[in-house]
Amino acid sequence: MTRIENIRDFLAQKRFAFIGVSRQPKDFSRALFREFKTRDYEPVPVHPEAAEIEGARCFAHLRDIQPPVESVLLMTSPTVTNLLVRECVEAGIKRVWFYRGAWEEWEIEQIDMAVPISPEELERKRSAIFKHQTQKDGTMLLGGDIREVWERAEERNRGTARLYDALGMAEYEAIEAFKHFRP
């Protein structure tokens, strides 16, 4: 399957697990969750400490979702992503999309979906990073990068936007990227 076919295949699944959606209403993940809902998707929230998100019943674990889903969007910290991928495989999930966090840099040709971010949304994202317990300063990142998480994330988002601009695409403040993974 080509990259665009993979994207279409994932987006054709109107119901999917959204693992890592925040309990904080102003968090970027919540904005993305709401956007999927406005486009007639049924994201099923998964969060170990929430009973509901945006009016939808929230599940503590992927295995608790009934009826089961076949697709998962992961917006989680790298400290738990490997465990969740294992849970996806054990549950027979056929489609997994990874949200690219500040810890992972991708080449532009590896990006499967790019979402423009306004200056206001970038500010909200920075604020959400400050509030997120696992993303405070001192977080261990791969490599020797000594920047704080918010600095790395902002520069990555702005850098991605510059790459798209250089390709002749519309100019944006920043762009958030997603990668599709098929187990």
Domain holding 78, by residue range, is 3-99
Residues 93 and 130 in one domain: no
Tens of pLDDT, residues 37-80 = 999 999 999 999 999 999 999 999 999 999 999 999 988 876 67
pTM: 0.60
- State mean pLDDT over 5-31: 88
My answer on whether 7 and 81 are in the same domain is yes
Answer whether residue 110 is part of any domain: no
Same domain? For 93 and 154 the reply is no
Of the candidates 156, 19, 23, which has an alpha carbon nearest to the alpha carbon of residue 97? 19
Tally the domains of the chain: 2
Round to whole Å and give the CA distance between 53 and 24. 9
d(CA 63, CA 90): 9
Structural tokens at position 101: 């966090």
In this predicted structure, the answer to whether residue 102 has a pLDDT above a threshold of 90 is no
Supply the angle between the helices 149-166 and 119-131 in degrees, to the nearest 10. 150
Residue 106, domain member (yes or no):
no
Burial class (CB in 10 A: 0-12, 13-18, 19+), 21: buried
